[in-house]
Structure 1
Amino acid sequence: MKKEAFSPSFKTYLLIHGAWHGAWCWNKVIPLLQAKGHKAIAIDLPGHGQDTQPLPDITLEDYVQAVVKTATDQQGQIILVGHSMAGIVISQAAEKLGPQKVQALLYLDAFLPRNGDSLFALVEATLQRLTSDSRRPHLVENIIISHDHKTNWVNREMAAQIFCHDCLEEDKAFALSRLSKEPIAPLATPLHLTDQVYGVIPKYYILCTESQDMDKTFLSTHVPCQQVYTLSSSHSPFFSMPEKLVEIFTGIN
């Protein structure tokens, strides 16, 4: 695993969960960041965790505004961290917030977009680039779509294998009991990103090489990054190896 030099200066990390998850997925990471003298904030995106907004009505803009509001409430610059689906959320939020507010974007096994991409388009592009050597993409074949095509969820029988096969049994139980449905509209919405704003914010990628949801090697190269790190982890390193994850977080200058 490649490392950057550790910077002892205070940082604020805004942690954004992926699809079907909530702020709860960062429970092991937050105290580790705080122990190193940093500020760490995790929010529930609309319709997730403790947020009760009706799922069928939620848009990508709702997600983005939740991030923007929390970010603007913080003093100084922030590092935006997005897991999985939240890669598109932090990207669009960064476009609104600008480089004066966003010190860096950190993509944790996440969807890394260009202008005009939607999450669905990135999934399709990723699947087209998988080779015989790629890890089998278990996620797509285990997504169940509601009859009204407004929400989806993951097959419960496969969720542990897809997200956290290398995690402790207690962490698997914790996560599986909290996974929720996901609104489809945010996943189908194209992003509006510019070279002048999004393009100048430093980006870092953490590729989880043992993830069973989908091999994201292609995504780690889709947009130029300052650094691409690798973790021999499932899609949930915040459970399986939080210390190594935090080591990467705090090594970003």
Structure 2
Amino acid sequence: MKISLLLLLITALCQTVSNAQSRTYVLVHGGWHGAWCWKKVVPLLETNGSRVVAIDLPGHGDDKTSPAGVTLDEYTKKVVQLAKAQTGPVILVGHSMAGVIIAQAAEVLGKEKVAKLVFLDAFMPKNGESVFALAAKAEELNKAEGKPTTEPSLSQCLLLSDDKQTSRVDLDRVAQLFYHDCSADDVAFAKAHLGPQPMGCLGTPVQVSDAQYGAIPKVYILCTRAKDLDKRSIANNVPIQKMYTLASSHSPFFSMPEKLVAILQAL
């Protein structure tokens, strides 16, 4: 009896380790950022044997695509390509604007390839919605509920290019907007790496269906102290499996990576 119990425990332990090792996380950054924003998260996730891929979207980070004119379709194709290159199902994690990207990628990949969608303080769309549409809807709801607006607003922090195809974030205001609970070193690192953001993709609506995107389990991680936009209404925009909260700025990958990783590992 004791030997059987021991064998059972060993089997369960091996299964737990196997499950952890079989997980593959695909991390998709938000606007103006790059794969560099996940620098603290990647090694923490990898400690339990998980595979982790942090993407530079076209025109961001080390990707040398000209950002002017980059489309949502180009973003989506890169996520789909990298997800398909992984063995087995993947967990797509999208921060901020990347919520619409992982939604559109999930529509292409389907539930056989995407085990779960994780929206990290992200725009979680219904069919036909874009980042701009979701932001406008959230702002209207917040105003109707009497929630105070934060200053400076995201729009006040944007510096548009002359041709209006890209924008940058005002570095004098970005710490208050995105990183108010982050260390001085992390803020300096972010300022040195933030790049231009293609604007057209933010206004492009997703084309998703209940059969594909709707069939994939979704988790929302709400950053309750984010100052760019209160996204509580966005977290309830479509049915989700579970909502987690972090008492952080919009950038928990810098300010509380251990807590963020604990949520990701618990999925």
1:182 is aligned to 2:182 = no
Distance in 2 between residues matched to 1:70 and 1:29, nearest whole Å: 19
Q: What SS is found at the alignment partner of 2:116?
A: strand
- Aligned pairs, number: 246
Distance in 2 between residues matched to 1:170 and 1:54, nearest whole Å: 29
Is the contact made by 1:205 and 1:228 (CA closer than 8 Å) also made in structure 2?
yes
- The corresponding residue for 2:150 is 136
Greater displacement, 202-211 / 125-134:
125-134
Unaligned runs of 5+ in 1: 1-6
Q: CA deviation at 1:205?
A: 0.3
1:98 is aligned to 2:110 = yes
Distance in 2 between residues matched to 1:147 and 1:234, nearest whole Å: 30
- The corresponding residue for 1:169 is 184
Distance in 1 between residues matched to 2:66 and 2:203, nearest whole Å: 18
Correspondence for 2:32 among 5, 17, 20: 20
- The corresponding residue for 2:136 is 124
Cα deviation per residue 1:82-115 (whole Å; 9 max; x = unaligned)?
A: 0000000000000000000000000000000000
Q: CA deviation at 1:152?
A: 1.1
Q: What SS is found at the alignment partner of 2:58?
A: coil
Is the contact made by 1:136 and 1:215 (CA closer than 8 Å) also made in structure 2?
no
Distance in 2 between residues matched to 1:22 and 1:135, nearest whole Å: 27
- The corresponding residue for 1:151 is 166
Q: What SS is found at the alignment partner of 2:68?
A: helix
- The corresponding residue for 1:249 is 264
Distance in 2 between residues matched to 1:117 and 1:214, nearest whole Å: 17
Q: What SS is found at the alignment partner of 2:103?
A: helix
Percent identity (aligned): 49
- The corresponding residue for 2:5 is none
Q: What SS is found at the alignment partner of 2:129?
A: coil
Q: What SS is found at the alignment partner of 1:55?
A: coil
Distance 1:250 1:134, change over 3 A: farther
Q: CA deviation at 1:140?
A: 2.3
Is the contact made by 1:134 and 1:215 (CA closer than 8 Å) also made in structure 2?
no
Which of structures 1 and 2 has the larger relative contact order (alpha carbons within 8 angstroms, sep 6+)? 1
Q: What SS is found at the alignment partner of 1:250?
A: helix
Q: Which one has a larger percent helix, Structure 1 or Structure 2?
A: 2
Distance in 2 between residues matched to 1:35 and 1:56, nearest whole Å: 38
Q: CA deviation at 1:153?
A: 1.5
Cα deviation per residue 1:211-247 (whole Å; 9 max; x = unaligned)?
A: 1111111110001110011000000000000000000
- The corresponding residue for 2:3 is none
Is the contact made by 1:44 and 1:51 (CA closer than 8 Å) also made in structure 2?
yes
Unaligned runs of 5+ in 2: 1-15
1:76 is aligned to 2:88 = yes
Equivalent residue runs for 1:2-17 within 5 Å? 8=17, 9-10=19-20, 11-17=23-29
Distance in 2 between residues matched to 1:175 and 1:56, nearest whole Å: 21
Distance in 2 between residues matched to 1:135 and 1:177, nearest whole Å: 28
Q: Compute the RMSD of aligned alpha carbons.
A: 1.1
**TM-score (norm. length: structure 1):** 0.95
- Max radius of gyration: which structure? 2
1:52 is aligned to 2:64 = yes
